[in-house]
């Protein structure tokens, strides 16, 4: 790429979430980096999305729209066609970008020229009007903000997915809350015609990229923040309890547009299981990109999907189509009863009542009540230092002081004994 500055495209597909998009763009454009572009692809919104973008005066911002309702996958593909960067990042309209993270990322891109860079996944929960926290909430560990990078072998990572040693798509070569080179994007398109080849674009590309990437870096420094709100597609499709009316409409609209897409959904959309999407995408990628050469552990993946669906009562409504899904994935599969009918009836009732089983959660070192993703990014900026300067990281320094204080107290206690 010579001595010319690398261009980084930050792509934000959106649909009817102007109240979140405003703060998302505020964080995207907070970086002083002149060699980024921010592409907003508006999927025919009927709210104030256009006005939100028009109110921003920044030459790095581009606004495009297809002019009609299209599926989420198609909007991702349309948005990508308008991105001109050497590297591309996709985020959602309720997410955010950390300026310090962009500086760290640019440093790594120039120094190591990796095909893909992924980072620690930090989630901010927006204020909820109905189900969820009334105030915005960021949960974090000190280690989420700084640490050494890891060099991963994309081929080995893909094999780990095939064997179900890895099951979380976030462990793949993500373009959604990850950064992917133009070379990888073009290589995927050369085989499949389009880059996004699944109805859940982040799951699909996290796996497809592994088949063509030659280098993969994982860093702790957060470059983006993942937002979660009542109006997000993920929340609407996978709410663990009863849907709000708004979430029901979003889920129905998502399904209608996905089924109208020329690329059929990977699985029956009644199956609300992310591991099932990972499994189905492995099968599709193996067929379309690898000529069936990959060895996929079907039995282990069936165990993973069943275990995931048992976590939430509402997902158990999908049991009646699960055997058809397993048979489609593996013709050698023998149908077996997956659950007792009486047990399913009870699970259906539990789901309808909106009850969820209690789960023990790991304790977190800290949490902050913050009202928007922009305030989250601003806070992270104040507690993290320059790229790869742990000594300037106030959170790390605070944690070290805490550990040092605990050690001193232990030593004093021993002396007293």
In order of their start, the domains of the chain are 8-228 (3.90.550.10), 266-343 (no CATH)
**319-328 average pLDDT score:** 85
Confidence at 227, pLDDT banded by 50, 70, 90? very high
- pLDDT recorded at residue 363: 47
Collect all residues with Cβ–Cβ distance below 8 Å to 372 and sequence separation of at least 6: 23, 126, 136
Q: What is the 3-state secondary structure (H, E, C) of the chain?
A: CCCCCCCEEEEEEECCCHHHHHHHHHHHCCCCCCCEEEEEEECCCCCCHHHHHHCCCCCCEEEECCCCCCCHHHHHHHHHHCCCCCEEEECCCCCEECHHHHHHHHHHHHHHCCCEEEECCCEEECCCCCCCCCCCEEEECHHHCCCCCEEECHHHHHHHHHCCCCCCHHHCCCCECEEEEHHHHHHHHHHHCCCCCCCCHHHHHHHHHHHCCCCEEEECCCCEEEEECCCCHHHHHHCCCCCCHHHHHHHHHHHHHHHHCCCCCCCCCCCCCHHHHHHHHHHHHHHHCCCCCCCCCHHHHHHHHHHHHCCCHHHHHHHHHHHHHHHHHCCCCCCCCCCCHHHHHHHHHHHHHCCCCCCCCCCCCEEEECCCHHHHHHHHHHHCCCCCCHHHCHHHHHHHHHHHHHHHHHHHHHHHC
Comparing 376 with 211, the larger pLDDT belongs to 211
What is the distance between the alpha carbons of residues 270 and 387, in angstroms, rounded to a whole number? 44
Among 98-102, 325-329, 379-383, the minimum mean pLDDT is found in 379-383
- pLDDT recorded at residue 235: 47
- pLDDT recorded at residue 356: 40
- pLDDT recorded at residue 99: 92
Q: pTM here?
A: 0.84
pLDDT of residue 403 exceeding 60, the answer is: no
Comparing 220 with 223, the larger pLDDT belongs to 223
What is the distance between the alpha carbons of residues 18 and 79, in angstroms, rounded to a whole number? 17
- pLDDT recorded at residue 354: 43
- Of the segments 227-241, 325-339, 383-397, which one has the largest average pLDDT value? 325-339
133-171 confidence digits (pLDDT tens): 567 888 777 777 777 789 999 999 999 999 999 999 999
**362-368 average pLDDT score:** 58
């Amino acid at each position: 790429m010579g001595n010319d500055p690398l261009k980084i495209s930050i792509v934000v597909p959106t649909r009817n979430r102007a109240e979140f998009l405003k703060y998302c763009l505020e964080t995207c454009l907070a970086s002083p980096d002149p060699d980024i572009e921010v592409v907003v692809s508006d999927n025919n919104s009927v709210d104030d999305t256009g006005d939100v973008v028009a109110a921003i005066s920044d030459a790095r911002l581009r606004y495009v729209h297809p002019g009609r309702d299209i599926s989420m996958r198609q909007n991702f593909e349309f948005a990508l066609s308008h991105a001109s960067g050497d590297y591309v990042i996709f985020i959602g309209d309720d997410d955010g970008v950390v300026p310090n993270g962009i500086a760290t990322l640019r440093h790594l891109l120039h120094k190591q020229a990796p095909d893909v860079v992924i980072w620690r996944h930090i989630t901010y929960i927006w204020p909820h009007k109905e189900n969820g926290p009334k105030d915005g909430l960021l949960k974090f560990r000190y280690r989420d903000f700084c640490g050494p990078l890891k060099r991963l072998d994309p081929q080995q990572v893909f094999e780990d997915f095939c064997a179900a040693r890895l099951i979380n798509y976030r462990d793949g070569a993500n373009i959604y809350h990850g950064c992917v080179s133009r070379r990888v994007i073009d290589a995927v398109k050369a085989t499949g015609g389009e880059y996004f080849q699944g109805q859940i674009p982040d799951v699909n590309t996290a796996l497809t990229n592994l088949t063509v990437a030659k280098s993969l870096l994982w860093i702790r420094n957060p470059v983006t923040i993942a937002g979660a709100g009542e109006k997000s597609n993920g929340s609407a499709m996978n709410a663990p309890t009863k849907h709000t009316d708004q979430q029901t409409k979003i889920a129905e609209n998502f399904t209608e547009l996905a089924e109208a897409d020329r690329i059929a959904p990977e699985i029956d959309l009644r199956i609300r299981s992310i591991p099932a999407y990972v499994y189905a995408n492995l099968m599709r990628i193996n067929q379309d990109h690898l000529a069936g050469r990959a060895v996929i552990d079907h039995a282990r993946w069936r165990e993973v999907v069943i275990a995931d669906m048992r976590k939430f009562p509402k997902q158990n409504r999908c049991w009646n189509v699960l055997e058809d899904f397993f048979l489609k994935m593996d013709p050698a599969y023998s149908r077996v009863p997956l659950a007792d009918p009486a047990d399913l009836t009870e699970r259906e009732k539990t789901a309808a009542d909106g009850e969820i089983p209690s789960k023990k959660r790991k304790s977190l070192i800290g949490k902050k009540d913050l009202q928007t993703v922009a305030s989250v990014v601003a806070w992270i900026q104040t507690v993290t230092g320059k790229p790869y300067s742990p000594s300037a990281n106030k959170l790390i320094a605070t944690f070290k002081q805490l550990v040092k204080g605990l050690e001193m107290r232990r030593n004093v206690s021993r002396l007293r004994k």
